[in-house]
Amino acid sequence: MKTLNDKLLTIVKNLDVVLKTLQAEPSRADINAANLRLSQTLGQVRAIIDEDDTDEEFIPKVPKKKTQSEPGRVTKGYHTTTIPKGKYGELSKVHEELAELVDAQTQRAKLLVFNEVSDLLGAIEGFVQTHYPNTLTMEDLLHQARLTAAAFQSGERT
């Protein structure tokens, strides 16, 4: 059985592959493959959110004192870690929102997790709109994510 840390590492690796693919003037086939990987990754995020039995030993302890923000970084009041601040429309914003999602899950703050998933989707949308205008929409990505989820649920994909 995979630990929470293993699952989150897999998600980060998948997102890195998607984002690197989209940065390199992808072909339509590359975009379709990235879209499929993204929809699978969103399914993994949904599965983690739905889990209620995460092993405590893999969740880092919440620090009692907040650390001072470092230059170029932001510590938000509801997060327990210092997270690099990204720029909307750039990959750095996707990384920021993913780090915030991981922190929210670590805190087991379901409402915050949902907020961060929403922020992550917004960051992905901003990245796609900035770097691939008039190519893909969030509706395209969500449609593919739903098709992939249906295939996994039906057992046609593993």
CA distances to 14, 29, 109, 156 from 35, in Å: 11, 10, 28, 18
70-108 confidence digits (pLDDT tens): 445 555 567 888 888 899 999 999 999 998 988 888 888
- Distance between CA atoms of residues 123 and 126, nearest Å: 5
Per the document, the length of the chain is 158
135 has a pLDDT exceeding 80: yes
pTM across the whole model: 0.52
Q: Which two tokens stand for residue 158?
A: 């593993």
The continuous run of DSSP H or E covering 83 comes out as strand 83-84
pLDDT at 77: 65
> Which segment of 23-32, 130-139, 143-152 scores lowest on mean pLDDT?
23-32
pLDDT at 49: 66
Q: What is the dihedral of CA 103, 17, 37, 9, to 10 degrees?
A: -30
42-57 confidence digits (pLDDT tens): 777 777 766 655 444 4
1-10 confidence digits (pLDDT tens): 677 667 777 7
Q: HSE (CB half, 13 Å, CA atoms) of 150?
A: 6
Which of 94, 92, 98 minimizes the C-alpha distance to 79? 98
